[in-house]
Amino acid sequence: MATYKQLLAEREKIEAQIAEVRASEIASAIGQIRALMSEYELTVEDLAPKRGRGRPAAGVKAVAAPRSEIPPKYQDPKTGATWSGRGRAPAWLGKNRDRFLIPAA
């Protein structure tokens, strides 16, 4: 029957062998990958997965949908400034909005 210390020493030897074999197999796999990449003229970008969901990748600009312009609903007769009724109300509008309402055409 093996002792505890003997088993620990044996485990260390086996772990060292595992690390050595893994390193050699990784080097072999990298060599095969490089050979295939050069044979088929592939780049790293060809291998990276395309992002389809979530936030766009850094440096990629998202294409915004074209906004349609909203016709103004209110107009200041003094300055000619207009407001569509969306967003924060301008100060010139005051509390009585009916005075500045543009008649529907």
Q: What is the pLDDT of residues 26-54, one digit of tens each?
A: 999 999 999 999 999 998 888 887 766 77
Judgement on whether residues 42 and 9 belong to the same structural domain of the protein: yes
What per-residue confidence (pLDDT) applies to 74?
92
Judgement on whether residues 39 and 8 belong to the same structural domain of the protein: yes
What per-residue confidence (pLDDT) applies to 56?
65
Q: How many helices (H) and strands (E) does the chain have?
A: 2, 2
- Domain that residue 15 falls in: 4-47
Judgement on whether residues 73 and 42 belong to the same structural domain of the protein: no
Note whether residue 63 is domain-resident: no
- Mean pLDDT over each residue of the chain, to the nearest integer: 87
Note whether residue 75 is domain-resident: yes
Helix (H, G, I), strand (E, B) or coil at 75: strand
Number of structural domains found in the chain: 2
